[in-house]
C-alpha cells in the first residue's frame, strides 16, 4: 500500500511500515480508531498514539460513509490531536479535499499509478473562495514558516553559544523572539537560575508553572518564596478536570505505577496537555534543559524550532555543568527547593521522585521502578515525536 500526502499531493514518506493485515487497510504501528468510537475511546486512542509515536488510522468501510470525516474533525477540534491522521480503506480521489479539510493528513491508495488522480483532485482547490485552517495554501505557508523558524533557531543558537553570561543570553533571546516569550518553570535549580536571570535582565516574559496536584509541599513553598523574592507573579496552570476524571476512571489513583504507558498517560494529562495549551500563541519557550542532565538531553540545542507549536524552544543553560549551576545559584542568592540539599537532584511529582545516592544518574530518582531508558515525562520529547501529536 502507498499513501498520498494530502498537503503536497505527493507520495508520502512514512515511518510506518506496510500493513501485514489481509486487507492492507491498517499500517503496522498505527493506532486504529473505529468510526463508532465514543469520547473516552477517542481520548484513549490519542494517549496510545502519542505514547507509541504512532499515527491514528481511521478506516472507511465504504467510500460514502461520512462518519470518518466527522471523527477526524473531532480528533482535531475537540481533542486537539496534532499527529498524523490517515484515511484507510475505501477512499477515492474525489474525496481528497474533503479529507484534508476534515483533518486527515494522508490517505491510502492501492498503488502509485493512482497518484495522478489524487493530484488532479487536490489541484482543483481555489484558495480565494475557501477558508479553512487545514487548506493547502495555509499548509504550504506552514512549511515556509518551519523553514524560517529553523533558520532563525540556527542563527540564534550561534549568538547564544558566543555569550557565556546567562543574563546576556536572556537579553539576546528577548530581542530575537518576535512575540510572547514564555517560561515554564518547574521550580527546580535550573529554572530558578533562569528566573533570576529574567529578573536581572529586566525583560517581559510569561512565567508559569504546572501544578499537577502531586507536588511536594517544598516545591509549593519554593513557588511562594520565589514570588516574594523577585516581586513577581508566577501563573499556576492546572490540568483539565474532565481529563483528570477520565484518567482516574480508567487507571485509578495509582495507575501510573502499573505500567510505563499508565505513567506516561498520567504525565500527559497532568503536564503535557496543560503545557501545550498554555504555550499556544507564544513565539518563544524558555526551558532549563542542560546537556549534562541525561543521555536523552545530551544533544540539546541552545535554540530549536518546535513545528508543533510554531515557536522557538530556547535552552540558555544547554552547555552548563552542574558546577556552573551551583556556583551561579550560590553567588546570586537564588532561592532553591530545599529538597535539593537532601539528595533530590531532579524534582517532579512527590509519588514519582526519590532522593539519589552520590554518583547515581541524575534521573535515577524519577520513576525509579522503571528501567533507566528514556526517563522523560513528555514535556521535552521532540516536536516530531510528541508535542506535535497532542495540543
Model confidence, pTM:
0.67
The pLDDT assigned to 386 comes to 41
Question: How confident is the model at residue 42, as a pLDDT?
Answer: 80
pLDDT above 60 for 23:
no
Q: Do residue 126 and residue 150 come from a single domain? A: no
Q: So what's the pLDDT on residue 18?
A: 34
pLDDT tens digits along 231-242: 999 999 999 998
Residue scoring higher pLDDT (314 or 112) = 314
Handedness of CA 4, 7, 10, 15 (dihedral sign): negative
Q: What proportions of the chain, in percent to the nearest 5, are helix, strand and coil?
A: 45, 15, 45
Q: Which three cell numbers mark 48?
A: 496510545
Q: Are residues 76 and 188 in the same domain?
A: no
* Nearest residue to 51 via CA among 252, 192, 251: 251
Q: For strands 85-89 and 56-60, give the pairing.
A: parallel
Residue 388 has pLDDT above 50, yes or no: no
pLDDT band at 130 (very low <50, low <70, confident <90, very high): very low
Owning domain of residue 91: 2-134
Q: Tell whether 90 and 155 lie within a shared domain.
A: no
- Mean pLDDT over 243-271 rounds to 87
**Can you give the pLDDT at residue 143?**
59
Q: Give yes or no for residue 217 having a pLDDT over 70.
A: yes
Question: Pick the catalytic residue: 266, 267, 349, 377?
Answer: 377
What is the count of structural domains for the chain? 2
Question: DSSP assignment, residue 245?
Answer: H
**Do both 150 and 234 map to the same domain?**
yes
Q: What number is the average pLDDT over the span 89-97?
A: 90
Q: Are residues 195 and 168 in the same domain?
A: yes
What is the reported pLDDT for 390? 36
Residues 6+ apart with CB under 8 A from 364: 356, 372
Is 377 catalytic? The answer is yes
Cα separation, 66 vs 312, whole angstroms: 38
Mean pLDDT of 288-311: 88
| CATH value at residue 305 | 3.40.50.620
> Is the predicted pLDDT of residue 207 greater than 80, yes or no?
yes
Asked if pLDDT for residue 318 goes beyond 90, the answer is yes
Cα-based distances in Å from 105 to 86, 90, 209, 210, 306: 6, 16, 33, 31, 19
Residue 257 in domain? yes
| Together in a domain, 202 and 323 | yes
User: Domain boundary at 134, 152, 167, which?
Assistant: 134
In this prediction, residue 127 carries a pLDDT of 45
Q: Nine-digit cell at 4?
A: 498520498
Phi, psi of 383 (to 5 degrees): -55, -40
Amino acid at each position: 500500500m502507498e499513501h498520498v500526502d494530502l498537503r503536497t499531493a505527493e507520495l508520502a514518506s512514512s515511518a510506518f511500515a506496510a500493513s501485514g493485515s489481509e486487507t492492507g487497510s491498517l499500517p503496522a504501528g498505527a493506532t486504529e480508531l473505529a468510526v463508532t468510537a465514543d469520547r473516552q475511546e477517542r481520548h484513549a486512542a490519542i494517549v496510545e498514539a502519542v505514547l507509541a509515536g504512532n499515527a491514528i488510522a481511521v478506516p472507511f468501510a465504504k467510500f460514502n460513509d461520512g462518519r470518518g470525516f466527522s471523527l477526524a474533525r473531532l480528533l482535531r477540534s475537540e481533542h486537539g490531536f496534532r499527529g498524523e491522521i490517515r484515511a484507510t480503506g475505501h477512499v477515492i480521489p474525489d474525496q481528497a479535499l474533503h479529507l484534508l479539510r476534515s483533518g486527515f493528513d494522508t490517505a491510502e491508495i492501492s498503488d502509485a499509478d493512482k497518484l495522478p488522480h489524487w493530484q488532479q483532485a487536490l489541484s482543483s482547490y481555489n484558495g480565494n473562495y475557501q477558508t479553512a485552517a487545514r487548506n493547502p495554501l495555509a499548509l504550504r505557508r506552514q512549511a515556509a514558516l518551519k523553514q524560517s523558524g529553523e533558520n532563525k533557531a540556527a542563527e540564534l543558537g550561534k549568538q547564544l553559544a558566543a555569550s557565556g553570561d546567562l543574563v546576556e543570553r536572556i537579553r539576546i533571546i528577548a530581542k530575537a523572539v518576535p512575540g510572547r516569550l514564555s517560561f515554564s518553570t518547574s521550580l527546580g535549580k535550573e529554572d530558578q537560575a533562569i528566573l533570576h536571570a529574567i529578573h536581572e535582565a529586566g525583560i517581559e516574559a510569561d512565567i508559569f508553572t504546572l501544578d499537577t496536584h502531586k507536588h511536594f509541599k517544598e516545591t509549593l513553598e519554593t513557588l511562594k518564596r520565589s514570588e516574594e523574592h523577585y516581586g513577581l507573579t508566577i501563573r499556576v496552570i492546572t490540568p483539565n478536570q474532565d481529563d483528570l476524571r477520565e484518567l482516574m476512571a480508567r487507571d485509578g489513583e495509582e495507575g501510573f505505577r502499573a505500567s510505563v504507558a499508565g505513567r506516561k498517560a498520567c504525565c500527559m494529562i497532568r503536564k503535557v496537555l496543560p503545557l501545550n495549551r498554555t504555550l499556544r500563541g507564544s513565539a518563544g519557550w524558555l526551558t532549563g534543559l542542560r546537556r549534562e542532565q541525561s543521555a536523552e538531553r545530551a544533544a540539546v540545542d541552545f535554540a530549536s524550532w518546535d513545528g508543533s507549536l510554531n515557536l522557538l524552544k530556547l535552552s540558555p543553560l544547554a552547555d552548563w555543568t552542574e558546577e556552573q549551576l551551583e556556583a551561579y545559584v550560590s553567588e546570586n542568592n537564588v532561592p532553591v527547593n530545599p529538597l535539593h540539599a537532601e539528595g533530590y537532584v531532579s524534582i517532579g511529582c512527590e509519588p514519582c521522585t526519590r532522593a539519589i545516592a552520590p554518583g547515581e544518574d541524575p534521573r535515577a530518582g524519577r520513576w525509579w521502578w522503571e528501567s533507566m531508558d528514556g526517563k522523560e515525562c513528555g514535556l521535552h520529547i521532540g516536536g516530531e515525536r510528541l508535542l506535535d501529536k497532542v495540543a
